[in-house]
């Protein structure tokens, strides 16, 4: 599928994507569609557990290490809706209201800025609490996929606003990316929204407009253009949009 994937990663992509695609096509109750994708997140755990032991041993990520929680996160619509569903289920009314206020401020700060300008803000994720993710079980796929071999290097990259120091772990990164891409591609091939959104901005809209989920289930654009992931000068309108390539059909 991807020239950068190893044969093992390519197989992981194909098996994961095919399974998610079949699940989505067989699901008749719209209310169960998100659950079908949420269940596929277990594939991240399986992919990590079967990564080379030396690669897993080099992971430096620990609770309270939150440098990666201060950079913009681009997501697919289903990831936002899964997070919103978790928040609405488990947060108290007071915590929910406070989150909406933070997300609104995040959205206003990000509006009209390029991806580079957004990165320079070093804005913490609206769901970060005391250095930890407050929706860990429902966190976005990019967050599930990220592993670093050097926490200090992550902080250095954050402070500089550049990724000069390579923190990725090849034996883990490729496997995580294969699963993430497979889930997203399968959703697009099943007819769902393939646009990339800024997580904090789209989360604000999901928590304040119940029709976002309805639009997604109807296979329409779930969120407004103002929630789109930012590009850079010169990017066209199709930038950040996944297309149905026919991998799993």
In whole angstroms, what is the distance from residue 81 CA to residue 85 CA? 6
Q: Which residues of 108-126 are buried (b: 16+ CB within 10 A; e: fewer)?
A: eebeeeebeebbeeebbbb
Residue 27 placed within a domain? yes
Residue 209 DSSP class:
-
**Taking a C-beta distance cutoff of 8 angstroms, is the pair 24, 37 a contact?**
yes
Whether 208 is in a domain gets the answer yes
Return all residues near 112 (Cβ < 8 A) that are at least 6 apart.
Answer: none
Q: Please indicate, yes or no, if residue 249 is contained in any of the structural domains.
A: no
10-residue block means of pLDDT along the chain (249 residues)?
Answer: 82 96 94 95 97 97 93 97 98 98 98 94 96 97 97 94 91 96 97 97 98 97 96 62 87
Residue 74: enclosing H or E segment and its boundaries?
strand 74-75
The answer to the question of residue 232 being in a domain is no
Q: Is residue 55 part of a domain?
A: no
Helices (H) and strands (E) in the chain, counts: 12, 4
Please state, as a whole number, how many other Cβ atoms lie within 10 Å of the Cβ of residue 49: 9
**Domain extent for 43:** 7-50+64-227
Q: How many domains does the chain have?
A: 1
Evaluate whether residue 29 is within a structural domain. yes
Does 247 reside within a domain? no
Q: Supply the pLDDT for residue 187.
A: 97
In a domain, 194, yes or no: yes
């Amino acid at each position: 599928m991807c020239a950068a994937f190893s044969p093992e990663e390519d197989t992981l992509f194909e098996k994961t994507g095919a399974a998610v695609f079949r699940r989505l096509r067989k699901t008749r109750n719209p209310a169960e569609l998100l659950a079908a994708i949420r269940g596929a997140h277990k594939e991240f755990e399986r992919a990590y557990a079967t990564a080379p032991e030396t690669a897993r041993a080099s992971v430096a990520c620990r609770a309270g290490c939150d440098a990666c929680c201060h950079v913009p996160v681009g997501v697919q619509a289903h990831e936002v809706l899964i997070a919103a569903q978790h928040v609405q289920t488990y947060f108290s009314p007071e915590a929910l209201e406070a989150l909406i206020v933070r997300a609104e401020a995040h959205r206003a700060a990000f509006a009209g800025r390029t991806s580079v300008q957004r990165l320079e803000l070093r804005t913490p994720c609206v769901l970060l609490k005391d250095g930890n993710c407050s929706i860990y079980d429902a966190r976005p796929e990019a967050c599930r996929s990220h592993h670093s071999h050097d926490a200090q290097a992550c902080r250095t990259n954050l402070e500089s606003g550049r990724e000069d120091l390579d923190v990725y772990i090849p034996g883990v990164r490729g496997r995580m990316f294969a699963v993430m891409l497979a889930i997203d591609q399968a959703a697009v091939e099943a007819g769902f929204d393939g646009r990339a959104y800024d997580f904090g901005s789209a989360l604000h809209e999901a928590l304040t407009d119940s029709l976002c989920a309805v639009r997604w289930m109807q296979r329409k654009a779930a969120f407004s253009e103002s929630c789109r992931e930012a590009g850079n000068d010169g990017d066209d309108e199709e930038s950040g949009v996944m297309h149905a390539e026919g991998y799993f059909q």
